[in-house]
């Protein structure tokens, strides 16, 4: 096992870092640093800057606009984005739907959707969770009944991130209820959000932000050509997609930036040995997470295989560290202050409460590790 970067990889990291210093718009990085709201225009502006550079989809095959970078270079790139404080690249199109299309999609689906995802012409969202079917996703109830050359979809999705921005949604739907296992009879559909019968209703979170939504489907007609993979085989697609999603939830570069910022504005708290001890522990845990991530990268580099079930470790520890950092920020900030920065810290703290729930709750991730990795 080799957990060290080569001289070529270090040179690549320096190249990315220098480019970001010159090309990341100051007004966007300031919004990220101050925990301000990022509009759809902000998100797409940064997306299109990276698309013009040819760096918006590093993991895609080169014939579709990928960079040809190896797994270590892609990891370094993602961490440099986080450390520089760039706006997030919304994953639903780039790193969730696109890998699914590349693996399971038809040639017509690839030709239709991939170039528009790459250029930021279509904004995507994910239709997985439902009321009563979040971590237990196999219990979903949204139905799709085939009628000639289209499906008729009825049901509801919830916690749908940025659905109010989205042009398209990829959804898990139930097309057959006769299977012995709940995972059977689930299909993967692509739906145009402008289709009659789709209604988006906002859910305002406790930080006051409109980030997630409810999405309702009432007799929504979806062309059969928008079915990805075989009918009833959507669970296979879902598992493939979730492996990609959980690999990216550690957010080590972003946590490093948050840690540096926390040290900067909590200098007055360093005399409190309990605060200092917790801060030091978090820093050590972040270093351990980075080493664990490097172990996964080394395995992927050697075998060429995607991450397995044990990648859930990154999701668990990464999100817990993110929460720990915001908890210390709250301790370091004046809780009675009404200035913009203190208000932003409070919003960041509240927003980060959800990280241990999305992409499959951490409790579910522990069950996955126990069953798939430890054999319990």
Positions marked active-site: 245
Contact between residue 317 and residue 95 where contact means Cβ atoms under 8 Å apart: no
For 199, phi and psi rounded to 5 degrees?
-125, 130
Beta bridge partners of 213: 202
Phi-psi sector, 162: left (phi>0), alpha (psi -120 to 50), beta: left
Contact between residue 237 and residue 188 where contact means Cβ atoms under 8 Å apart: yes
CA dist., res. 148 & res. 155, Å (int): 20
Residue ranges with strand state E in 89-231: 124-127, 143-147, 150-157, 168-174, 186-192, 198-204, 210-223, 227-228
CA dist., res. 143 & res. 181, Å (int): 16
Quote the tokens at residue 299. 């395995």
CA dist., res. 127 & res. 156, Å (int): 9
CA dist., res. 288 & res. 250, Å (int): 12
| Cβ neighbours of 22 (radius 10 Å) | 6
Under DSSP, the state recorded for 254 is: H
Contact between residue 90 and residue 43 where contact means Cβ atoms under 8 Å apart: yes
Please name the residue that has the structure tokens 């409109």. Answer: 210
CA dist., res. 209 & res. 163, Å (int): 14
Q: Which of 70, 135, 59, 63 is nearest to 94 (CA)?
A: 59
């Amino acid at each position: 096992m080799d957990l060290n970067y080569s001289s070529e990889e270090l040179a690549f990291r320096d190249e990315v870092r220098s480019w970001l210093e010159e090309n990341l718009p100051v007004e966007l990085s300031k919004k990220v640093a101050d925990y301000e709201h990022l509009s759809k225009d902000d998100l797409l502006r940064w997306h299109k800057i990276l698309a013009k550079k040819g760096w918006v989809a590093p993991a895609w095959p080169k014939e579709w606009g990928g960079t040809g970078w190896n797994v270590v270079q892609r990891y370094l790139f993602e961490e440099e984005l986080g450390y520089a404080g760039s706006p997030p690249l919304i994953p639903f199109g780039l790193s969730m739907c696109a890998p699914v299309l590349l693996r399971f999609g038809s040639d017509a689906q690839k030709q239709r959707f991939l170039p528009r995802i790459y250029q930021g012409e279509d904004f995507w969202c994910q239709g997985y969770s439902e009321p009563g079917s979040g971590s237990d996703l196999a219990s979903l109830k949204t139905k799709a009944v085939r009628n000639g050359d289209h499906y008729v979809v009825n049901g509801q999705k919830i916690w749908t991130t940025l659905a109010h921005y989205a042009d398209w949604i990829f959804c898990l739907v139930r097309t057959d209820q006769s299977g012995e296992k709940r995972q059977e009879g689930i299909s993967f559909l692509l739906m145009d959000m402008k289709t009659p019968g789709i209604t988006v209703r906002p859910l305002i979170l406790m930080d006051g932000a409109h980030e997630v939504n409810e999405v309702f489907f009432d007799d929504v007609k979806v062309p059969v050509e928008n079915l990805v993979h075989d009918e009833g085989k959507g669970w296979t697609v879902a598992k493939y997609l979730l492996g990609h999603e959980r690999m990216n939830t550690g957010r080590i570069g972003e946590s490093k930036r948050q840690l540096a910022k926390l040290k900067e504005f909590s200098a007055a708290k360093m005399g409190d040995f309990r605060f200092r001890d917790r801060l030091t522990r978090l820093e050590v845990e972040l270093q351990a997470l980075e080493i664990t991530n490097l172990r996964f990268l080394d395995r992927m580099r050697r075998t060429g295989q995607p991450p397995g079930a044990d990648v859930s470790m990154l999701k668990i520890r990464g999100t817990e560290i993110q929460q720990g950092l915001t908890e210390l920020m709250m301790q370091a900030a004046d809780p009675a202050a009404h200035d913009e920065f203190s208000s932003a810290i409070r919003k960041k703290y509240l927003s980060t409460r959800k990280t241990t729930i999305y992409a499959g709750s951490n409790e579910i991730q522990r069950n996955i590790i126990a069953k798939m990795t430890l054999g319990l």
